């Protein structure tokens, strides 16, 4: 057990990390030789620097940061959907300089592709797989770009803003969950089961009704109507009674 | 979740030795339902005899789309969902989330709220480490530590219940402060509990740390060198057990940690035993920090007034706390509405799990559980 004394580089209450950030901004200047344009750093909320980098220079800049400036710990990589474009954001820490840095790469929404930084930080492997999973950003040069958290046959990238969302005002129910009086109708269940099997994850916009439409827990109003007819003929119930209960629910 | 069984099977090699004995690599599936995986983790291992030649973790069985859920909830409603990320340390998760919002809004909670957060965070860290140590002992065949650890953890959960009304999903942190002040005599109870805990931890140390079976199964197993640990992005006790002195409470102090100094424990061995021992020592340090927080507990308000419809300004902020497992970061982007535009969780368990295949390669089958248990992952945070 080694008891290590407390670190002395706690920021002062008045200046914060101002001096360290200024030193870092000076050290970042040589990146202009890689990218050809001067680095424009921006002070982020939380007292750390951030800058944007063109996607073709990303790996070279990252290698410079790791080898020359000692940014040895990739804290996170996150995709962001800004509607007109996608972003891949890297938060990098340096354990020797004791600093945090934010790198941002702007990508097009149509074909988001960026070079992988696995060769610089091996920890980027799973980060990039997750970003690919959630945003569909392709990381070229990644050794094993597969889905991370979702199934292989999942369609779509769920954290994109245009991905199908269930509106908050309507409580969604599982498609197999039906009313008890519907459950007695075997034929309806069969139809419903078939529909569930055919349905792929991430789809379903076509069948979805307007959020305000009362569906009584059924996504498919037509199937419900069919089941009503079926049940009334089987059990000999009058259709008028059936309609009355439906109106009551509405 | 992504795996292709066919390619995994094709990777198996068959060798014919000179004596005419045919050996083939074997595929072993561990999990997703297995007591030693601490959740729903699946490991596909290729074995050559007893030696592990390859390991593929398959995760995502507990994926709830937490980041998407947070995008669809107001910030106030989202705090509660952070409890489910790392379900062994909900207080720390909430602190990370409200910290990111506060950083975005440029506000500072009152000093009393900061100290309450420090106290609850350290109690939560103790609870999380107790589970980590107790279950690790159980993984390696010692059944007493888990009973002792859960007995002690019960005290912390009772304290949380008195404080926030709930044992696990406390939902206690608020933007700008905390939900409740302490009930009557809560701090006294807390001090009594800390005294008991300190005594119990000495017993735990005597029970497990010097245990010969425990030592021989963990020492020298699963070695990570410092460069590898940093390259793989390890944080928390796993990094400190590899000899890198890195703790966000010290190196990038936030909230009350700017005033309360934290001692970090670093081990140079980098094996499973070191990771266990760092956790054990951090409990002792957390007990000390709790006492400091109780002693220095300032008076005043527990929360600043924040609007009910909380609309942070447009912008982005990355805020990280030192969770019990490592760096727990929240990257929050706001478009100026009540809903966060993007909330990314950087879970330490997710990244700490990534190194497991590297550690297992070349070890015996029986070491697999020792290595996996020493990483102390929580699948709720891995899958989010």
What is the SS3 string spanning B283-304?
Answer: HHHHHHHHHHHHHHCCCCCCEC
CB contact under 8 A, A3 and B265: yes
- Whether residue A143 lies within 8 A of chain B, CB to CB, comes out as no
B227-240 core/surface letters (b: 16 or more CB in 10 A; e: else):
ebbbbbbbbbbbbb
CB contact under 8 A, B4 and A152: yes
Share of chain B above pLDDT 90, in %: 25
Nearest CA in chain A to B103: A46
Rg, chain B, Cα only: 22
- How far off is chain A from B90, nearest CA to CA, in Å? 21
Q: For B228-254, how does the pLDDT look when each residue is reduced to its tens digit (9 = 90+)?
A: 899 998 998 999 999 888 888 888 888
Is residue B138 pLDDT above 60, yes or no?
yes
**Residue whose C-alpha is closest to residue B75's, from B231, B282, B286, B306:** B306
Q: For B249-280, how does the pLDDT look when each residue is reduced to its tens digit (9 = 90+)?
A: 888 888 888 888 888 889 888 889 999 999 99
Helices B111-139 and B144-164, packing angle to 10 deg: 160
The DSSP string of A202-240 is T--TTT---TTS--TT-S-HHHHHHHHHHHHHHH---HH
- Whether residue A150 lies within 8 A of chain B, CB to CB, comes out as yes
Which of A9, A10, A121 is the closest to B233 by Cβ?
A: A121
d(CA A113, CA A125): 15
- How far off is chain A from B103, nearest CA to CA, in Å? 6
Which of B231, B250, B251 is the closest to A122 by Cβ?
A: B231
Task: Tell the burial category of A245 from Cβ atoms under 10 Å away from its Cβ (0-12, 13-18, 19+).
Answer: exposed
Q: For B1-49, how does the pLDDT look when each residue is reduced to its tens digit (9 = 90+)?
A: 544 444 444 556 666 666 667 777 788 888 788 777 777 888 888 888 8
pLDDT of B75 reads: 87
Residues in chain B: 384
Q: What is B66-383's CATH topology? A: Cytochrome-c3 Hydrogenase; chain B (1.10.645)
Q: Which of B32, B252, B317 is the best substitution to test chain A (most A C-beta atoms within 10 A)?
A: B252
**ipTM of the complex as predicted:** 0.85
| Mean of per-residue pLDDT scores for chain B | 86
pLDDT of B331 reads: 93
Classify residue B3 by its DSSP letter: -
- Whether residue A135 lies within 8 A of chain B, CB to CB, comes out as no
Rg, chain A, Cα only: 28
pLDDT of A96 reads: 86
d(CA B369, CA B37): 8
Is residue B208 pLDDT above 90, yes or no?
no
Q: Phi-psi region for residue B39, left (φ > 0), alpha (ψ -120 to 50) or beta?
A: left
Taking contacts as CB-CB distances below 8 angstroms, the residues of chain A near B384 are: 149
Which of B63, B235, B246 is the closest to A150 by Cβ?
A: B63
- How far off is chain B from A88, nearest CA to CA, in Å? 12
- SS3 string, B128-173, reads HHHHHHHHHHHHCCCCHHHHHHHHHHHHHHHHHHHHHCCCCCCCCE
Taking contacts as CB-CB distances below 8 angstroms, the residues of chain B near A165 are: 72
Enumerate residues 105 to 134 of chain A having a beta carbon within 8 A of any beta carbon in chain B.
121-123, 125-127, 129-130, 133-134
- Whether residue A83 lies within 8 A of chain B, CB to CB, comes out as no
Q: For B59-105, how does the pLDDT look when each residue is reduced to its tens digit (9 = 90+)?
A: 888 888 889 888 888 888 889 898 888 888 999 999 999 999 988 88
Across B303-315, average pLDDT: 85
pLDDT of B122 reads: 93
Domains of chain A, by residue range, sit at 18-140, 180-249
Q: In chain B, which segments carry CATH 1.10.645.10?
A: 66-383
Q: Which CATH class is domain A18-140?
A: alpha beta
d(CA B82, CA B98): 10
Residues (pLDDT < 50) of chain A are: 1-7, 167-175, 185, 187-219, 224, 227-250
CB contact under 8 A, B1 and A150: yes
Contact assessment for residue B241 and residue B267, using Cβ atoms and an 8 Å cutoff? yes
Enumerate residues 170 to 229 of chain A having a beta carbon within 8 A of any beta carbon in chain B.
none
Residue with tokens 């409740």: B180
Nearest CA in chain B to A79: B344
Instruction: Note the Cα B162 to chain centre separation in Å.
Output: 24
Q: Counting one residue from A and one from B, how many pairs have CB atoms under 8 Å apart?
A: 132
CB contact under 8 A, B351 and A46: no
At B139, is the pLDDT very low, low, confident or very high (cuts 50, 70, 90)? Answer: confident
Q: For B54-66, how does the pLDDT look when each residue is reduced to its tens digit (9 = 90+)?
A: 888 888 888 888 8
B266 three-state secondary structure: strand
pLDDT of B254 reads: 87
d(CA B38, CA A118): 28
pLDDT of B256 reads: 86
Contact assessment for residue A149 and residue A131, using Cβ atoms and an 8 Å cutoff? no
CB contact under 8 A, B383 and A46: no
Token pair of B44 as six digits: 């596909």
Residue with tokens 């308000």: B301
Across B188-212, average pLDDT: 89
List the beta strands (DSSP E) in chain B: 14-16, 22-24, 26-30, 33-34, 39-40, 42-48, 51-58, 173-174, 177-178, 264-266, 315-322, 327-334, 340-346
- Whether residue A146 lies within 8 A of chain B, CB to CB, comes out as yes
pLDDT of A248 reads: 47
At B284, is the pLDDT very low, low, confident or very high (cuts 50, 70, 90)? Answer: very high
d(CA B33, CA A67): 43
pLDDT of A10 reads: 55
Classify residue B182 by its DSSP letter: P
pLDDT of A237 reads: 45
Nearest CA in chain A to B263: A6
Residue A57 sits at φ, ψ, to 5 deg, of -100, 5
Taking contacts as CB-CB distances below 8 angstroms, the residues of chain B near A100 are: 252, 318
**Residue whose C-alpha is closest to residue B215's, from B267, B274, B266, B265:** B274
- Whether residue A78 lies within 8 A of chain B, CB to CB, comes out as yes
């Amino acid at each position: 057990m080694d008891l290590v004394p407390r670190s002395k580089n706690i920021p002062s209450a008045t200046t914060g990390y101002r001096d360290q950030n200024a030193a870092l901004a000076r050290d970042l200047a040589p990146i202009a030789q890689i990218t050809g344009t001067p680095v424009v750093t921006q002070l982020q909320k939380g007292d750390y620097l951030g800058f944007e980098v063109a996607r073709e220079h990303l790996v070279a800049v990252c290698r410079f940061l790791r080898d020359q400036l000692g940014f040895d710990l990739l804290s996170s990589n996150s995709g962001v959907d800004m509607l007109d474009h996608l972003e891949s954001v890297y938060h990098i820490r340096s354990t020797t300089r004791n600093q945090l840095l934010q790198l941002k790469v702007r990508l097009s929404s149509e074909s988001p592709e960026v070079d992988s930084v696995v060769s610089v930080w091996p920890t980027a492997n799973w980060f990039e797989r997750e970003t690919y999973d959630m945003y569909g950003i392709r990381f070229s040069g990644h050794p094993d770009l597969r889905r991370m958290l979702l199934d292989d046959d999942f369609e779509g990238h769920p954290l994109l803003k245009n991905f199908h969302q269930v509106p908050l005002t309507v409580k969604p129910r599982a498609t197999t969950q039906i009313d008890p009086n519907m459950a007695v109708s075997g034929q309806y269940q069969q139809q419903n089961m078939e529909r569930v099997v055919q349905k792929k994850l991430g789809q379903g916009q076509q069948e979805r009704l307007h959020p305000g439409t009362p569906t009584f827990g059924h996504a498919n109003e037509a199937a419900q109507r069919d089941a009503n007819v079926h049940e009334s003929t089987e059990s000999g119930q009058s259709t008028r009674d059936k309609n009355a209960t439906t109106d009551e629910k509405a | 979740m992504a795996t292709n069984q066919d390619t995994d099977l094709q990777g198996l090699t068959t060798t014919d030795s000179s004596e005419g004995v045919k050996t083939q690599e074997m595929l072993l599936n561990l999990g997703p339902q297995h007591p030693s995986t601490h959740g729903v983790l699946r490991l596909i291992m290729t074995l050559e005899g007893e030696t592990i030649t390859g390991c593929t973790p398959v995760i995502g069985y507990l994926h709830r789309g937490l980041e998407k859920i947070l995008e669809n909830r107001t910030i106030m409603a989202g705090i509660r969902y952070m409890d489910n990320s790392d379900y062994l340390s909900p207080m720390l998760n909430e602190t990370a989330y409200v910290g990111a919002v506060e950083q975005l809004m440029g506000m500072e909670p009152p000093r009393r709220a900061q100290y309450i957060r420090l106290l609850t965070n350290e109690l939560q860290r103790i609870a999380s480490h107790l589970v980590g140590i107790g279950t690790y002992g159980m993984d390696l065949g010692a059944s007493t530590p888990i009973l002792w650890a859960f007995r002690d953890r019960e005290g912390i959960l009772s304290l949380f219940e008195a404080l926030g009304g709930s044992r696990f999903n406390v939902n206690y942190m608020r933007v700008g402060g905390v939900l409740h002040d302490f009930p009557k005599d809560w701090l006294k109870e807390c001090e009594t509990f800390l005294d008991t805990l300190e005594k119990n931890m000495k017993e735990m140390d005597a029970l497990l740390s010097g245990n010969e079976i425990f030592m021989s199964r963990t020492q020298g197993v699963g070695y990570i060198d410092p460069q590898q640990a940093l390259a793989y992005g390890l944080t928390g006790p796993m990094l400190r057990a590899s000899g890198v002195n890195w703790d966000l409470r010290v190196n990038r102090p936030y909230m009350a940690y700017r005033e309360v100094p934290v001692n970090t424990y670093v081990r140079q061995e980098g094996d499973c035993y070191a990771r266990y021992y760092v956790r054990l020592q951090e409990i002792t340090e957390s007990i000390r920090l709790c006492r400091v927080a109780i002693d220095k507990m300032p008076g005043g308000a527990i929360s600043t007034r924040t609007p009910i419809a909380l609309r942070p300004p447009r912008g982005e902020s990355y805020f990280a706390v030192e969770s019990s497992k490592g760096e727990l970061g929240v990257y929050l982007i706001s478009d100026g509405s009540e809903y966060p535009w993007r909330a990314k969780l950087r879970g330490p368990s997710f990244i700490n799990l990534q190194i497991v295949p590297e550690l297992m390669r070349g070890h015996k089958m029986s070491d697999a559980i020792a290595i996996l248990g020493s990483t102390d992952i929580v699948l709720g945070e891995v899958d989010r």
